[in-house]
Amino acid sequence: MLSKKSAAIHSSPVRELLKFSKEPGFISLAGGIPATDMIDVEGIDSVLQQLLAEDHRDVFQYSVTEGEWPLRQSIANWTQNVGLPLDPQQILITNGSQQGIDLLNRVFLEKDDVVLVERPTYLAALQLLDYTEAVIEELAYQGDQIDLGALETRLAAGGVKMLYLIPTFANPTGRIIENEQRIEIVKLAHRYQVVIVEDDPYGHLAFTEQCRETFFSLAQQLYGVDHNVCYMSSFSKIFSPGLRLGWLALPEKFLMAVTVAKQALDLHTSTLNQHIAARYIASGRIDQRIALLKETYRQRRDGLIESLQRHLGDAITFNRPEGGMFLWCHLKEGMDASRLLKACIEEKVVFVPGDVFFAENPEKNALRLSYSMLTQQTADEAAVRIARALQTLSS
């Protein structure tokens, strides 16, 4: 009775690994989980208590699909400051980026439409695309950069409906698409009538001063209201993942279709949670928290890098991301990160083997290590355990 597609789709390996992270004694570098110790419980409680002290009956009642106006307004005010000028009317509140991807898939993708994705890309986006009738293809690269010539050739050949990108501190690679490339991609997408989905959950978590503009903003400058970029972001990594809150910024021409799809899916996002977020943003706490997170994650990045260097030496290479939560690493050529994971589970340390992030031709020696939750001690211990596991593979 299950559809063929459903019977074939498996649980996310990341979420399966997460179950280990709850077991005592395990060190998890698996999840894209913001540090629990870094959640601003006092700050959230404070705005929640203010809300409860006022007449708040309506936060328990149904709301409108687009989202509560105070939150849409808070977001629009807030993003002005980071170079993304928005009208609250352009903003739709979601249950997080994951739902954002699902909504855009539903609204745009028909059978055999091609979606171009980065190599590698966010696993759960690939999983959602598997539920559609679209075809996933990887972008071509020149080194670490998207090959724009190849992209143009592919777009000109036809069939491409959507470009799904995480252009700032991509998951899992930490890569950044620079401004000049962004402009070229926006122009290509416009010429060939392709939707750009700009997924930006980590943009705020930059360790150094950043001068990039969003695809959305660039496209708005180039083409006015008639551009093709759908921007999405999330409060999961900078505020609270448990509240399930994200948002989309859409060109007006797509607003109705996406809103109607959201309406059909679950009517609207929790009214209470939206008001908590609106107040948290308006209070300025979110900027203070982001500043703290940036500093903390930078240190944790450095801590993990140092520990890996110390205990694994040249057995592992990795990037040095300028933001976000992940190191993207490689074992020596020919090694299998999934085999290493099995050995690591015996040593009570887990990570995500990198092959799952590839739409095609996975790199079997790749692995993603999340440093968001690590202290200096647990980073060091994790590296020790990985090294031990690696030893057992060669013995």
Site for a copy of itself in 103-162 (CB under 8 A): 106-110, 124, 127-128, 131, 161
Site for a copy of itself in 43-102 (CB under 8 A): 44-45, 48-49, 52, 56-65, 95-96, 98-99, 102
Closer residue to a copy of itself in complex, CB, 194/305: 194
Return the number of the residue (115 or 340) whose C-beta is nearest a copy of itself: 115
Q: Which residues of 36-63 are buried (b: 16+ CB within 10 A; e: fewer)?
A: eebbbeebbeebbeebeeeeeeebeeeb
Q: 113 or 152: whose CB is closer to a copy of itself?
A: 113
The distance from CA 144 to its chain's CA centroid, rounded to whole angstroms, is 19
> For a copy of itself, which is the closer residue by CB, 7 or 211?
7
Could you tell me which residues are beta bridge partners of residue 246? 94, 234
**Range in contact with a copy of itself (rule: CB under 8 A) among 4-12, 135-143, 208-216, 293-301:** 4-12
Q: Two tokens at 186?
A: 């926006």
Task: Tell me whether the omega of the peptide bond preceding residue 88 falls within 30 degrees of 0, making it cis.
Answer: no
Residue 238 CA, distance from chain mean position: 12
Exactly one of 77, 263, 375, 377 binds a copy of itself (CB under 8 A); which one? 263
6 versus 394: smaller Cβ distance to a copy of itself: 6
Q: Residue 218: what are its φ and ψ, rounded to 5°? A: -60, -45
* Cβ proximity to a copy of itself, 173 vs 273, nearer residue: 273
- Burial code (b: 16+ CB inside 10 Å, e: under 16) for 156-175 equals eeeebbbbbbbbbbbbbbbb
Positions in 23-42 near a copy of itself (CB under 8 A):
31, 33-34, 36, 39, 41
For residue 366, what are the β-bridge partners?
Answer: 330
CB of 131 to a copy of itself, least distance (A): 6
Among 112, 178, 266, 346, binds a copy of itself (CB under 8 A): 266
Q: First-to-last CA distance in the chain? A: 47
Phi then psi for 264, rounded to 5 degrees?
A: -70, -35
Taking CB under 8 A as the criterion, which residues in 194-233 touch a copy of itself? 194-195, 228
